[in-house]
Amino acid sequence: MSDNKLLFNTGSLNELSEEIGKLSENDESKLKLSPDNADSGLAKLVLTLIELIRKLVEKQAMRRVDGGSLTDEEIERLGETLMKLELKMEELKKHFNLTDRDLNINLGPLGDLM
């Protein structure tokens, strides 16, 4: 970016280029499917979708807990279910050698998936 396009910046230029880099290219957050890695590529894709749904369910559940519409018993059951889901997800990520960052696909101009 030429200097005259940068009108105001409170951080350093290095910080700025780092942040813009995160918004554009992020190799780790891309799905790479090829004949050589069909298994791991597919696992990443499937786990990404499961993780997205799990997080949405968790968010909705916390909204309901926060809203005060659940009984203590219901909160207990909800906690047990969601905690077990989280642990199972951790196991699957470990099994396929994936991290949270791997499952957070960068959608370009739309930002990160999660």
Partner 1 sequence: MKGISGSSLYEVSNGAISAVVSDIKKSEFVPDKSVAIDYAGVIDSLYLHSALLPMRFGSIMESSEAIVEMLERNSDEIRKNLDKVAGRYEFGLKIFCDSAKLKATLAATIPEIAYHPDEGNKNSVYRDWVNRKLAEHRLEELLLAHVETVIKEITSYLDRLNSINKFKKMLTETTVVDAVFLIEKEKKGELIDSIKELQTHYPGLSFVLTGPWPSYSFVDVTIK
Task: Catalog residues that contact partner 1 under the rule CB under 8 A.
Answer: 1, 5-11, 15-16, 19-20, 22-23, 58-59, 62-63, 65-66, 72, 75-80, 82-83, 106, 109-112
Give dist(CA 49, CA 16) in Å, integer: 31
Which residue's CB is nearer to partner 1, number 18 or number 95?
A: 18
Long-range contacts of 56-60 (CB under 8 A, 24+ apart): 57/82, 57/85, 58/82, 58/86
Say which residues have a Cβ less than 8 Å from residue 98's Cβ, sequence separation at least 6. Answer: 43, 44, 47
Which residue's CB is nearer to partner 1, number 10 or number 34?
A: 10
Which residue's CB is nearer to partner 1, number 38 or number 88?
A: 88
DSSP class per residue in 33-59: --GGGHHHHHHHHHHHHHHHHHHHHHH
Which residue's CB is nearer to partner 1, number 38 or number 107?
A: 107
CB of 72 to partner 1, least distance (A): 8
